Amino acid sequence: MILETNLALRADETLLVVTDDATYEVGLLFYTAARTLGRSALLMQMPEGRVSGEEPPAAVAAAMKAADVALCPTAKSITHTNARIAAAQAGTRVVTMPSITMDMLRDGAACADYAQVERITHALTERLTKARTARIEKGGRVLTLDLADRNGVASPGVYREPGASGNFPSGEAYIAPVEKGASGTVLIDGSMVGIGLLPQPLVAHLEQGCLTHIEGGNADGPYADQLSVLFDRPENGTIAELGIGTNECAKLCGIILEDEKIYGTVHVAFGTNTSFGGTTKADCHLDGIVLAPTLYLDDECIIRDGEFQ
């Protein structure tokens, strides 16, 4: 179903499955399914990356550019990499599946009505493109973001046209805020890349678009090791993304691939955003989920306490 419906893989196309040691079982599953359908398919396995946003080996990047469709179930995300950008620019449909598990293919976001996900996602993407400002409120914390002259991006989980790119499972509308235009604090209480489910919230503090500190994530916090990369370079801690989840079947599981798609949530990310309209190339791209947020676009309430308005 995923190969034929979501990837729209045609009989005359070649599928490249890029996987790594940790997600080989999932990669093999898709390779085998493609061969069962009589499609031309290749399976390429690489070592697990160190951090999400790290570039894959050059041979993998070259193979992605040469394929009609590149499906990438990997432990660390390659969504926001130059390799993904170059492949999409060459016309490859690139679908990334960071930290995907077999269980996630059996239930949750992967099993959604993707016609509905697509409709909702495109509607919210238009709203993001038109907006000049955004404001996230949760738990007494307020984060304001400058969205002026930035375009929203749709990740509806359906990829039919040459160069189309995004996650599967999916369902999010997202945007790269102006890099120096985010100030305030945001309560991240769902999950965080590098940590998983959060038993206690993180509070991220930003000034002029850059992280100053994270309560629970600094040197004296319980997640210091997992989040230290955010403070290695200024670029790593720069605001990269505002996203809105649009998949009603997505469930909180501790894996960002699914968590950031949960209907009525928002997420913010730090690090690289050159792959979707920003200017920051960093060593990472780390997302954090805000559950049941209140979100304003240009002072109009879009989500109140997790409910679309």
Instruction: Please give the pLDDT value at position 219.
Output: 47
Region 293-304 average pLDDT? 98
pLDDT per residue as tens digits for the range 148-196: 999 999 999 999 999 999 899 999 999 999 999 999 999 999 999 989 9
Q: How far apart are CA 271 and CA 240, in angstroms?
A: 6
Global pTM? 0.86
Q: How far apart are CA 308 and CA 275, in angstroms?
A: 28
pLDDT per residue as tens digits for the range 84-124: 999 999 999 999 999 999 999 999 999 999 999 999 999 99
> Strand 40-46's sheet: what is its strand order?
40-46, 14-20, 69-72, 93-96, 165-167
Q: What is the mean pLDDT of the chain?
A: 95
Last residue in a domain, options 100, 135, 159: 100
Q: State whether 87 and 205 are in the same domain.
A: no
Last residue in a domain, options 69, 100, 131: 100
Query: Looking at the domain assignment, is residue 105 inside a domain?
Result: no
Encoded amino acid at 60, one letter: V
Q: State whether 32 and 95 are in the same domain.
A: yes
Tokens of 46: 């690489």
Query: DSSP letters of 174-203?
Result: EE---TT-EEEEEEE-SEETTTEE-SS-EE
Query: Looking at the domain assignment, is residue 248 inside a domain?
Result: yes
Query: Looking at the domain assignment, is residue 33 inside a domain?
Result: yes
Last residue in a domain, options 70, 100, 130: 100
pLDDT per residue as tens digits for the range 226-279: 899 999 999 999 999 999 999 999 999 999 999 999 999 999 999 999 989 999
CATH assignment at residue 62: 3.40.50.2300
pLDDT per residue as tens digits for the range 42-90: 999 999 998 888 999 999 999 999 999 999 999 999 998 999 999 999 9
- Coil, helix or strand at residue 145: strand
- How many distinct structural domains can be found in the chain? 2
Q: State whether 136 and 158 are in the same domain.
A: yes
Q: State whether 154 and 56 are in the same domain.
A: no
Q: How far apart are CA 99 and CA 128, in angstroms?
A: 27
Among 18, 34, 33, CA closest to 75: 18
Contact indicator for 216, 184 with CB cutoff of 8 Å: no
Domain with 255, as residue range(s), is 110-308
By DSSP bridging, strand 196-197 and strand 191-192 are antiparallel
The CA-CA-CA angle for residues 263, 265, 267, to 5°, reads 130
Q: State whether 160 and 248 are in the same domain.
A: yes
